[in-house]
Amino acid sequence: MERVVVNRYGGPEVLEVVEQDAPHPGRGEVRVRVLAAGVSYADLLIRAGAYLGGPKPPFTPGYELVGIVDELGEDCSSVREGDRVAALTVWGSYAEQVCLSETEVVPVPADIDSAKAVSLVLNYVTAQQLLHRIANAEPGESVLVHGAAGGVGTAVLQLARLADLRVYGTASSSKCDLVERLGGIAIDHTKDDFLARVRLLTGDGVDVALDGIGGSVSLRSYRTLRRGGRLVIFGHASTIADGRRSVRGWISWYAATGYVGARGLASPRRSVLPYRIARVRDRHPGWFRDDLIAVAELLSRGEIDPIIAGRLPLREARRAHELLGAAAVQGKLVLMPGSATGG
């Protein structure tokens, strides 16, 4: 089988495709033939060595997958061969076959597109939990989300519409039309100061701000909050620069996060909340399973429609990272192991 390996931290050039014998599941494990592996900004952070708690080289990146169970280890009772499943791997899914604990896999309907199904695992579960488990957004409230044309951003827009939330989304000029098509109010961050724009549009600020960037963006996002507002910090995209780990970015991220977190603790009017999907999954595995099943049902009913920026063969993992790192995509990039052509 083929898999992607990172032998040293760095830019997209460190991604290598290798061939090796297929793995076999151990006790309590299942082997999954990967149909789709999502490409996320977290993958770029892990590759660059900028992800908190990430692996040390050599490792295979890949935060999420959808595939078919094709071999069972001993003592497996809840999964059968032929089952279509999804998993949040955090790393390891850029491969044609992956062995996982049977407790890690969640069934997904066989009638939904694999690329759209894998978009649910990280992006839509993150959006669902940000809005409803962490920020506890109520119908009629307003939300600011950064990177609104990306994978998580477009998921927030679609789920917010179903929840009767008003969303302001930052995006570059070429992506503002997509934000508007999905029901959001676009803020062109290349032309406008998002803080000033939010204050102008709302009068008194937003109820919820979702920040996956960090650093100075967190500080300014906190200032967009109205009384009772909640800032959720769920990423640290600002800690890499030109595809590599940025020491300056890390210093800025820690300083800003610490400061804004202290402000939130001291303020009776605004709160600051951290979020990492893997940590929430580990602490509340039932939440992850329930939320993934819930968004899969929304997809099956046609109430959400993940935007697929491109479908690439596994061997084009480097190109996928280059495109995502250059902010050259709208929606979700997906690697399709076994696929001979991109799309």
Residue type, 256: A
Predicted confidence (pLDDT) per residue in 26-83, tens digit? 999 999 999 999 999 999 999 999 998 899 999 999 999 999 999 999 999 999 999 9
Percent of the chain exceeding pLDDT 90 equals 85
Asked if residue 130 has pLDDT above 50, the reply is yes
Please state whether the peptide bond connecting residue 285 to the residue before it is cis, i.e. omega within 30 degrees of 0: no
> Could you tell me the pTM of the whole model?
0.94
Phi, psi of 85 (to 5 degrees): -135, 165
Asked if residue 176 has pLDDT above 70, the reply is yes
343 — pLDDT class (breaks 50, 70, 90): very low
Q: 280: which residues sit within 8 A by CB, 6+ positions away? A: 129, 133, 287, 288
**For every residue of the chain, which 3-state class applies, written as one string?**
CEEEEECCCCCHHHEEEEECCCCCCCCCEEEEEEEEEEECHHHHHHHHCCCCCCCCCCECCCCEEEEEEEEECCCCCCCCCCCEEEEECCCCCCECEEEEECCCCEECCCCCCHHHHHHHHHHHHHHHHHHHHHCCCCCCCEEEECCCCCHHHHHHHHHHHHCCCEEEEEECHHHHHHHHHCCCEEEECCCCCHHHHHHHHHCCCEEEEEECCCCHHHHHHHCCEEEEEEEEECCCHHHEECCEECHHHHHHHHHHHHHHHHHHHHCCCCEEEECCHHHHHHHCHHHHHHHHHHHHHHHHCCCCCCCEEEEEEHHHHHHHHHHHHCCCCCCEEEEECCCCCCC
Burial (0-12, 13-18, 19+ Cβ within 10 Å), 223: middle
Q: Residues 120, 159: contact at Cβ < 8 Å?
A: no
Q: Measured on CA atoms in the order 331, 213, 53, 58, is the torsion positive or negative? A: positive
The pLDDT score that the predictor gives to residue 207 is: 98
Predicted confidence (pLDDT) per residue in 234-266, tens digit? 987 777 887 888 888 877 877 888 888 888 888
The pLDDT score that the predictor gives to residue 339 is: 60
Q: Residues 25, 83: contact at Cβ < 8 Å?
A: no
Q: Residues 209, 229: contact at Cβ < 8 Å?
A: yes
Domains, the chain, ranges and CATH? Answer: 2-119+280-336 (3.90.180.10), 138-275 (3.40.50.720)
What Å distances lie between residue 312 and 131, 179, 308, 334, CA to CA?
Answer: 30, 24, 11, 6
Structure tokens at 238: 């600002």
Cα–Cα distance, 88 to 168 (Å, whole number): 28
Q: How many Cα atoms are found within 13 Å in the side-chain-facing hemisphere of 228?
A: 8
Cα–Cα distance, 266 to 115 (Å, whole number): 43
Asked if residue 105 has pLDDT above 70, the reply is yes
Average pLDDT over residues 293-305: 97
Cα–Cα distance, 263 to 250 (Å, whole number): 20
